[in-house]
Structure 1
Amino acid sequence: MNPRPAIPSSIPSKLSVNFFLPYSSQLSAKEVDMVIIPTTTGQMGVLPGHVATIVELKPGVLSVHEGNDVTKYFVSSGFAFARANSLADIIAVEAVPLYQIDPNLVQKGLTEFTQKLSTASTDGEKAEGQIGVDVHQFP
């Protein structure tokens, strides 16, 4: 078993981020100021020196902040690991840069799944409707 990474004596000015998908690497050791992650318990901001944490991702927007530049991705699900040595690993099942998503299609999907959820009669139909609503109802 490998030892834990050393905790720096001072907080670094940047956070090193790795962002992986099953088929590609979106970011590899990218030095950023902050990431905001959609988790099952709410939005979580990760800054340099963040306490070590493991969280489950929920469908939503992942924001990567570099100075005044913010890059946003829609993520479907996955996990994020914040490490005490100012390293964050984000592993998503699927992700798309936000600028590639058509807001009209998102609204159409939300309407369809909201109706499916309201007319669902079985547990399976209710689960399918709720998942569809959750995926289409991101900020």
Structure 2
Amino acid sequence: MLRQASRLLNRPLTTTLRVRPFSSDLPATPPADSAFIESWKKVIPNIDPPKTPSSFMQPRPATPSSIPSKITVNFVLPYASELSTKEVDMVIVPATTGQMGVLPGHVPTIAELKPGILSVHEGNDVIKYFLSSGFAFIHANSVADIIAVEAVPIDRIDPSLVQKGLAEFTQKLNSAANDLEKAEAQIGVDVHSALNSALTG
């Protein structure tokens, strides 16, 4: 048994490892499996063979050879598209690891978002949204896809209602009778604290 293991370990890695391309790097129309199609047509000649998931995927956009001057932002919510292919100078997202500034040419990244401020910078104009949570997908071709569960422009938030909500959830957290009530109250405190910081800071 040890001899077999040592023989396997001494084999070159190039013979045992195969590099798989990303599915989105494959051609837009993948080569059809002719044997499968022929077998399908013999069994069910009146119905077209099914397509595989790669048949529906678009090829990955090419990474530009030079860094563009703008970053393209898509910002979507479950019920609306706030920004669609908007070219801006910079976007700052509230990642769970801290505020993350994204400029053209940013390294490809997936970032989880926490309650906080999303700011979109275009020249001297800055649009700010308060996000509850979500994800940001930064692509190598200077495109940022931001998906949020809930968002609202910062100028539409009433500071007095934020203070009232923070007080209510803090009281619920202190008087929670079980883990579920405590977790729900903690979420309320976290969101209202982030709202308060966004308005005051």
Same fold (TM over 0.5): yes
Using structure 2 for the length normalisation, give the TM-score.
0.66
**What SS does the aligned partner of 1:88 have?**
strand
2:34 aligned partner: none
1:111 aligned partner: 167
* Residues in 2 aligned to 1:43 and 1:126: alpha-carbon distance in whole angstroms: 27
2:102 to 27, 33, 46: 46
* Residues in 1 aligned to 2:170 and 2:65: alpha-carbon distance in whole angstroms: 51
1:65 to 103, 118, 121: 121
1:89 aligned partner: 145
* Residues in 2 aligned to 1:33 and 1:117: alpha-carbon distance in whole angstroms: 41
The alignment yields a C-alpha RMSD, in angstroms, of: 1.2
Identify unmatched segments of 5+ residues in structure 2. 1-22, 26-59
**What SS does the aligned partner of 1:12 have?**
coil
The residue type paired with residue 131 of structure 1 is I
Percent identity among equivalent residues?
Answer: 76
Cα-to-partner distance string for 1:34-71 (whole Å, 9 max, x where unaligned): 11111222211111111101111111111101111110
Whichever structure has more helix as a proportion of its residues is 2
Using structure 1 for the length normalisation, give the TM-score.
0.94
1:124 to 180, 192, 201: 180
- Structure 1 or 2, whichever has the larger Rg, is 2
* Residues in 2 aligned to 1:40 and 1:97: alpha-carbon distance in whole angstroms: 20
Shift of 1:125: 1.6
**Larger RCO (CA under 8 A, 6+ residues apart):** 1
